[in-house]
Amino acid sequence: MIGINGFGRIGKNILRQTDLVSEINQPNCSLEEIFYMIKFDTLLGTFNEVELIGDELFVRGHKINVYFERNLQNIPWTCQIVIDCSGQFRTLETLEKHFNGKVQNVILSAPPKDQMPTIINGFNLWKNEPIISAGSCTTNCLIPLLDVFDKNFGIKTCHFLTVHAVTNSQSVIDHRHQKDKRLGRDAHANIIPTSTGASGMVDVFFPHLTGKIRGNSVRVPVENGSFLEVYLEVEKDLEREEVIDLLKNHEVIKISPHPLVSSDIKTKNEICLIDLDLIKIYDKKRINLGVWYNNEGGYVHQLLEIVRKKS
C-alpha cells in the first residue's frame, strides 16, 4: 500500500489514478478540507467515490487514514511505500525520516537536491534503492526521447524549450517571490521565462553529453498540458520513416497523427506525445520535434508505473 505525504496537485492525481493509497499526511489541514480537495477539482472534475462518515474518510469504499503531522518522524505510517509530494524534503537525509519499521521505500515526486537515485520509466529500472526520485515531469518527457536518438543516431548537440503550464510555485496576481522575481508575476496574464532543472538531469543520465545539451523554460497561462520543442543535431543520417518507427515502438513515447493543442493533452495520461506533423528533418543530420505532455496526470502515471514494475 501507498502513503502520500503532501496532498497537492501530484498527491491528488495519485489518489485518483490508483486504489493502492491507504494513508495521507497533510499538515495545517482538517479532515473536512481533505475531503473537499478530493471531491472537487477544477481541472480533474468532481470525484464522487469519496465519503466522509463521521471522522473517517473513505475512497472507493476503502478507509483512508489521514494525518496532520509536520514532523515526518511522527507520522504513524502503516504502508510499505511513501510518496513524498510535499516538495519540502528533497534529500536522502530528510526523506529517511519516513522510515519507521514498516515503510520500506520512499519515492520523491520531484527532482532531488543531492545524489539520490532517479528513476525514469522507459529509461531505467527501480531495483533495490530504498529512496528514489521520480524526477520531474519535463525530465520524464525528455529522457526517453533523448535515449532513442542517442542510441540510434548519436547526439552531437541538443537544445530544448519547455513551454510549461502554471504551477503552485507561481502567483495568481503580482506578488513577491523569494527565488525568482518573474515567478512572482501574475501567472494567468504573462508568458514567464524561468529555469528548468531538466538540463542538469540530462548530464546525470548521459554524462558523455555533458555540455552538449541545454534547455530553457517558459511558463504560460494554461492550467495543464505542456509542450516540449526539441532540436537535435546527430551523427548518423536521419530517415523520417525510421525515426517514426523507432519512436512509435517505444513503451512511453506515443505519436499522434492529429494536430494537437494543449487542451487535448490536459486530461490524458501521456508524458511524451509527439505531433506527427511537428517532426521536421533538415539535411539528414538535424531534427525538430514538438512533444506534448501532461505535467500532472502524465507524470503521475509514470511514477505509478515505476511502482508497478518494482512489485
Average pLDDT over residues 199-215: 90
Cell of 124: 531505467
Q: At how many degrees (to 10) do helices 31-39 and 9-17 cross?
A: 70
Q: Helix %, strand %, coil % for the chain, to 5?
A: 30, 25, 45
Nearest to 288 by CA among 275, 297, 305: 275
Query: Is pLDDT at 199 greater than 80 in this prediction?
Result: no
Instruction: Spell out the domain ranges in the chain.
Output: 2-116, 137-296
> Residue 154 CA to chain centroid, in angstroms?
26
Q: Which residues carry out catalysis?
A: 137
pLDDT tens sequence across 52-93: 999 999 999 999 999 999 999 999 999 999 999 999 999 999
Report the C-alpha gap between 61 and 10 in whole angstroms: 22
What is the third-level CATH fold of 137-296?
Dihydrodipicolinate Reductase; domain 2 (3.30.360)
Q: Give the gyration radius of the chain's Cα atoms.
A: 20
What pLDDT is recorded for position 1?
A: 94
C-alpha cell at 275: 505531433
Give the pLDDT confidence of 172-195 residue by residue, as tens digits: 999 998 888 999 999 999 999 998
Report which of 211, 218, 227, 233 is spatially closest to residue 288, judged by C-alpha positions. Answer: 233
The span from the CA of 233 to the CA of 212, in Å, is 10
Question: Is there a contact between 134 and 111 (Cβ–Cβ < 8 Å)?
Answer: no
pLDDT at 197 over 90: no
Report the distance separating Cα 236 and Cα 208, nearest Å.
17
Note the pLDDT tens digit of each residue in 233-263: 999 999 999 999 999 999 999 999 999 999 9
Instruction: State pLDDT tens for residues 99-129.
Output: 999 999 999 999 999 999 999 999 999 998 9
Identify the pLDDT of residue 179. Answer: 82
Given a contact cutoff of 8 angstroms between Cβ atoms, the answer to whether 69 and 27 are in contact is yes
- Look up residue 47 and give its amino acid: F
Tally the residues of the chain. 311
Euclidean distance between CA atoms 37 and 16, whole angstroms? 12
**Mean pLDDT calculated for residue range 209-223:** 94
pTM of the model: 0.95
Report the CATH fold assignment for 2-116: Rossmann fold (3.40.50)
